[in-house]
Structure 1
Amino acid sequence: MKRISIFLLLYMAFVAMSCYEDHSAKDFKIIKPIVIEFAGAETAVKIFQFDTLEINPIIYKNGVSDENLTYEWKIQGNEYPETVLSNKMTFREPISAAPNSTAYDLILTVTDKTTDIQEFSRISVTVESSLGEGLLVADTRDGETGDVSLIMSMNFTRGLLEKNTRFYRNVYSSVNQHNLNGLVKDMQSFVKSDSRTLTILTDKDIYRVDPFEFADWEMNNDLFFVPIDGDLQPKNMMLWDYWGVEFLNVNGKVYPRNSSWGNLYYNFYMYTPDLADYDVSQMIVCGTYYYAVPYAFDENKNRFLQVNSRYDGFLQFREQNPGLLFDVNNVGAYDAIYMGEGENAQLMTVFKAEKGNDYWLAAMQTKEEDTGSNLPKGRYVLTNCPGINEAVGFAASPISTDFYYATKDQIYTIALGDSQNVTAESRYIVDRERDGEITSLTMWRGEYGRMNVSSETSSTGMTTQNAQYRMLIITTYKESTGEGKVLTIPIVKLTSGTLEPNREIHGRYEGFGRITKVAYNKVGN
């Protein structure tokens, strides 16, 4: 009986299953795809760094409105951090990734919000360098970190017309996705043979990048053969271009780097002949080509120092004869606050008393061998010059006896002569309402820059001239707007130091933060 019951149950189950109609084949629905078309456009492109890449794809999904589609364009590859560049269907964005022969991947992701289904497309992007010769501008927006921009224009770049001025703003942070730690104090671009570097000093760190790409290479102790113990306090740099040697001042000690054979590292710091401890504050290379010589000032012994021909140490000047304008081995209790190159490769140094408000300008010849009496050429008293105790910058002229200094609101010219007592003439008053206050002054030394000056004989009312040693660069800052500017002012008469009166043809470069340093980005030998 039990067996019959089991068979009966199995039979009933079989009948029930045979009566069930399977609707599963009728329940599924075909999901229509997201369509991405590039209308015949290339999916492998080349672009110059910082240029804008534009891609206009056709994207749709039948039965789904555009409002229900989302877009994400992100770039990745070559150690560049994966970065979302746009969330629009049409891509139109500048490409800041560092130049590289290996292409980056630009990934487009389209998402259907109604189903969360995604479609992907990849575009290969090869980035080539667009950066070159020009003016490096370091600024800060927050007072704690820095960034570097590049201006390529007629004033600073060979062969570039005025109408073709190009700004590359915040180049460093755009490439590296972070700001510089601290405020920039100095920058030195250096190209020799197959070695090319841009060294950037902040008040906290030392950075090295490629002047064509701006991508981080190495920093701090990675730049030295022998690491420096303790905290690093970078001060400034100088370049002995003809011999391919760069000097870096850290903690008052000078470290040389010979670029031969592509060397990128600094040697141990240089010694003085007496092996005394020293603290260099200012340094500069005077002269040109084979005849150029590097000098420094030691605050510990208040003395001038000259780099020896092997660039591994300093030379000691002879004991100086009494009665000279000043003693190069001991100028007294003064701090060197500026060092530059004057006419006939004279070393021009501004001194301020360690106590009090005494200022004077030392002129020292560099072309003749030291005899003990022939180095000092001038000792000019600056104490009574208007605003000298508030000076924000100085500039010497290698082709004239002009000497310039700037306060927050004016530029003054001093015509140097035989008299040690000098008179300063105001040559420029800043438009505070428009530009704010002057924050720095420097002389343009680049070989290829050009400038506009007024001309009565020209049909346009102006003519274009070489700017080397004939153009002042000032930076300004307006506190109320937080804007910094770079202004270029032609020197139209040497010796008197007369500046171009027509401000409409001065160079104007705006839109920066508080500028802390400007420097020439030299990218050729």
Structure 2
Amino acid sequence: MKKILAVVYIIITFGCVSCYEDKGDYDYKAINEISISGIQESYERMKWQDLRIAPELKFSLHENDSLAYRWEIDGRAVSTERNLDYSVDVNIADDAYKCRYVVTNTNGNVRYFQEFELKVVTAYNRGLLVLSEQDGESMLSFRPEGEDSEFLHWGDLFAGKPLSLEQPYSMDADVTVTTSKAIYRLDKQRMEEKKKYDGETMLVPESALEIKFCKFTDHVDDEDFGCMISKKGQVYVYKSRNDFFSSPSPVPVLETISEELIDYELSDICLIYTLFYGQTGYFLGYDNKVGRFLHFANKSSASTDRDQMNSVTAREPIIGLPLFALGQWDYGKCISIFYDPKSNVAKVVASHAKDFAKVTEEQVVTLDNHKFTPESKVVVCDATARVLFNSGMVIYQSNVRSMTSVPTVLSNKLPTTGKITMLKLSNNRKSLYVGVDSGREGEFKGDVYVLDAVTGEILTTYSEVGGAPVDILEKY
């Protein structure tokens, strides 16, 4: 055993001596490391536009002349020069192309990388979209970003009167144009029609379908849902999983305690929650015939279509006036304004839940000092708890918490001639878009004024945007 231990001791000793001696034999050389800067994380270009990048290279020792360069777009080499001068030849795509700049030190065969993205877009990528009415038909106009940009116009492509314009996330951010005849889904890059929803393409075809309302973006929670109301008062829910609208709700009837069926006249002003964790939820409609809220829902046992709004019940109290405006001004707090143009009576429920449940008669307040007219457009600002509306060509504002006070003037600087046809807040709530039918002769009679939503100052004016403006979209 002692002999074995002695042999092991000798081996270990010689091994340690060898390691110590080898350590002094290495010939260390400092590496000339390269750092790359001057390349952005992402670039945006239209096809055939030039992409020029001049990166900065810094060396830890000195600049090594023995370098090779490679610029890659989607894995394909497009240049071997130090600086990139590339005419974008890849196609327009929804997703950005992965790109890479490679610098190789050919002496030591060491490579250095800098990654970035290239988004290939069209002239329609970002800007303002305006939906307007021209001679009873719909017109779509687009103004690209840029100080010197002009409006481009699409006419004779959309049948029917214009209703709404959106770019909902739930539909891959494509643009939807809704008219009284159809819902047009446009490619967000090319602005070309991808699909049309009308009476012939519904899950249950309806040749005489006339659309009264359609929205894919919730007035309250900005949730993606999709709902359409026909002139008959029937409701269609958008089914994103199969890109169809549901079966229409039954012919307008109302379930009451006595179980009698009552006809109703469904308003196109409503709060909608038709998508709830992947299932059909409900929405809050309004019966202008009697003047009360209607709560639509789905009873799975009543239909083979699990998304059909096949049940409706009434919400109390009975207001007795047509619904004029509806919106959210704080988290979980909605405001409803009611106005009868015949009697010039206006009422308000300044704070209620999104289902209008448990509202008492005491919460319904008559507005003695209102300035509403039958032509008034109304928008609720959830950032400042204000109601903005027009009376003629003057823009007024009211604080939601003191609706009984006399409204104050936000802006009286608009032209005295013409007619306001649209009010809409910008996405950041800092600007107010005011659409005006100027009454000019000719094709493009519509103007858009951009106001500071707080001071009322006119920031920008766009003339001849198309017909009378109905809706506007900050396209991304």
TM range (shorter): 0.5 to 0.7
Tell me: CA distance 1:138–1:219, structure 2 relative to 1, closer, same or farther (3 Å): same
Find the counterpart in structure 1 of residue 175 from structure 2: 198
Whole-angstrom CA distance in 2 between matches of 1:393 and 1:220: 28
Superposition map of 1:63-78 within 5 A: none
Secondary structure, aligned partner of 1:182: coil
Tell me: CA distance 1:167–1:407, structure 2 relative to 1, closer, same or farther (3 Å): same
1:401 equivalent to 2:357? Answer no
Find the counterpart in structure 2 of residue 130 from structure 1: 123
Whole-angstrom CA distance in 2 between matches of 1:249 and 1:380: 29
Given the alignment, which residue of 287, 293, 298 partners 1:304? 293
Tell me: CA distance 1:428–1:354, structure 2 relative to 1, closer, same or farther (3 Å): closer
Superposition map of 1:292-371 within 5 A: 294-308=283-297, 312-313=308-309, 320=316, 327=317, 330-332=318-320, 334-353=321-340, 355-366=342-353, 370=357
Contact residue 183 and residue 516 of structure 1 kept, 8 A: no
What letter matches 2:163 in structure 1?
A: K
Tell me: CA distance 1:368–1:140, structure 2 relative to 1, closer, same or farther (3 Å): closer
Given the alignment, which residue of 469, 472, 481 partners 2:432? 472
Whole-angstrom CA distance in 2 between matches of 1:133 and 1:375: 46
Deviation at 1:273? 7.1
Tell me: CA distance 1:128–1:223, structure 2 relative to 1, closer, same or farther (3 Å): farther
Query: Once the two structures are aligned, what percentage of the paired residues are identical?
Result: 15
Deviation at 1:413? 1.3
Find the counterpart in structure 2 of residue 27 from structure 1: none
Deviation at 1:411? 0.5
Per-residue CA shift, 1:246-304, capped at 9, x if unaligned?
111111222111213xx3211112367727544321334479x9899843212344322
Secondary structure, aligned partner of 1:342: strand
Given the alignment, which residue of 250, 255, 262 partners 2:236? 255
Tell me: CA distance 1:206–1:383, structure 2 relative to 1, closer, same or farther (3 Å): farther
Deviation at 1:239? 2.6
| Structure 2 spans left out of the alignment, 5+ residues | 1-44, 50-90, 95-119, 256-260, 299-305
Tell me: CA distance 1:314–1:400, structure 2 relative to 1, closer, same or farther (3 Å): farther
Contact residue 294 and residue 315 of structure 2 kept, 8 A: no
Whole-angstrom CA distance in 2 between matches of 1:255 and 1:431: 39
Whole-angstrom CA distance in 2 between matches of 1:409 and 1:137: 20
RMSD: 4.0
Whole-angstrom CA distance in 2 between matches of 1:99 and 1:219: 26
| Structure 1 spans left out of the alignment, 5+ residues | 1-46, 53-97, 102-126, 154-162, 321-326, 447-467, 493-498
1:485 equivalent to 2:447? Answer yes
Contact residue 135 and residue 151 of structure 1 kept, 8 A: yes
What letter matches 1:402 in structure 2?
A: R
Relative to its length, the structure with more helix (as a share) is 1
- Output the TM-score relative to the length of structure 1: 0.55
Secondary structure, aligned partner of 1:221: coil
1:517 equivalent to 2:470? Answer yes
Tell me: CA distance 1:519–1:298, structure 2 relative to 1, closer, same or farther (3 Å): farther
Find the counterpart in structure 2 of residue 112 from structure 1: none
Secondary structure, aligned partner of 1:517: strand
Tell me: CA distance 1:164–1:239, structure 2 relative to 1, closer, same or farther (3 Å): same
Given the alignment, which residue of 212, 219, 223 partners 2:189? 212
Whole-angstrom CA distance in 1 between matches of 2:263 and 2:126: 39
Whole-angstrom CA distance in 2 between matches of 1:345 and 1:293: 16
Secondary structure, aligned partner of 2:132: strand
Tell me: CA distance 1:480–1:297, structure 2 relative to 1, closer, same or farther (3 Å): same
Per-residue CA shift, 1:4-56, capped at 9, x if unaligned?
xxxxxxxxxxxxxxxxxxxxxxxxxxxxxxxxxxxxxxxxxxx959x99xxxx
- Output the TM-score relative to the length of structure 2: 0.60
Whole-angstrom CA distance in 1 between matches of 2:462 and 2:148: 10
Tell me: CA distance 1:234–1:389, structure 2 relative to 1, closer, same or farther (3 Å): closer
Whole-angstrom CA distance in 1 between matches of 2:176 and 2:364: 34
Deviation at 1:206? 3.8
Per-residue CA shift, 1:397-454, capped at 9, x if unaligned?
2133321211232011122335x63311222113427xx43413434252xxxxxxxx
Tell me: CA distance 1:431–1:257, structure 2 relative to 1, closer, same or farther (3 Å): closer
What letter matches 1:132 in structure 2?
A: N
Deviation at 1:225? 0.6
